Amino acid sequence: MSAQRFEGRAAIVTGAARGIGRASAARLGGEGARVALLDIDAEVVHATAAELRDDGIEADAYVCDVSSEDSVEAAVAAAADRFGRIDVLHANAGILHAGAATEETLADWQRMMAVNVTGIFLTVRAVLLHMLRQESGAIVLTGSMSGFIAEPAFLCYCTSKAAVNHMARQLALDYATRGIRVNAVCPGWVDTHFGDVLALSEAEIEEGVRATVPMGRQAAPEEVAAVVAFLASDDASYVTGHCLVMDGGYTLP
């Protein structure tokens, strides 16, 4: 791991109970950040924060539904009050389900957009109010390679992630003169609980990965977290509006 790039800084990570969000919180905290973990799963996010504290990381858990304006504003305000500032945001919370247009209900569509798109907007907006006062900050959104391509029977998800990928560019343009950088990390297959959501067995996932990913494997959440930490750090001080695809070559053919 690199030196303490986030010493003295405070970070918020959404969707932090498990998977990419957990790995991101651990990485940022391991490099010196004080970390606020936001997640809708109260039991797991508190357990995750406790585990990070056991590892010597200053970590606090906040129960937050990113699709709720009141919930987001309360959690961000509490974290800002606790730490005194917000230097880094990893807006990571998201959901996934499969389906073509005729297989999706309006409720499916609205829920996907509420979490994956509106949730990021609400979180970024709440954090920006603090970063603008500081005239500094780094924001990383979790987009997806699926926001750049069409995939069979993934209408809602691909559309939502296309919005996130573009949101990163728009936010970067709007706030570049205020000392705030915004980028997106756009993973492909990652070894998280999303396989369970799609009701795929481990063997089915491995077969699909071997057939479609030139590198022949999924990313570990920690590999995504390493990219998040880079984009949020001063090592990327001249990088903004970039959507960094890390998909093992999936989108190359």
What number of residues does the chain have?
Answer: 253
Beta bridge partners of 38: 14, 62
Whole-number average pLDDT of the chain: 96
d(CA 63, CA 71): 8
Q: Is 54 exposed, middle or buried (0-12, 13-18, 19+ CB in 10 A)?
A: exposed
Contact 175, 244 (CB under 8 A): no
Per residue in 201-214, pLDDT (tens digit) is 889 999 999 999 99
d(CA 234, CA 28): 13
The model's confidence at residue 3, banded by pLDDT at 50, 70 and 90, is confident
The number of angstroms, rounded, from the C-alpha of 86 to the middle of its chain's C-alpha atoms is 16
User: Does the annotation mark 175 as catalytic?
Assistant: no
- Residues 62, 157, 175, 250: which is the catalytic one? 157
The contacts of residue 199 (CB under 8 Å, 6+ apart) are: none
Per residue in 13-72, pLDDT (tens digit) is 999 999 999 999 999 999 999 999 999 999 999 999 999 999 999 999 999 999 999 999
Q: What's the whole-model pTM score?
A: 0.96
CATH of domain 10-94+115-147+162-190+221-245: 3.40.50.720
Q: Is 253 exposed, middle or buried (0-12, 13-18, 19+ CB in 10 A)?
A: exposed
In the chain, where the domains are located: 10-94+115-147+162-190+221-245
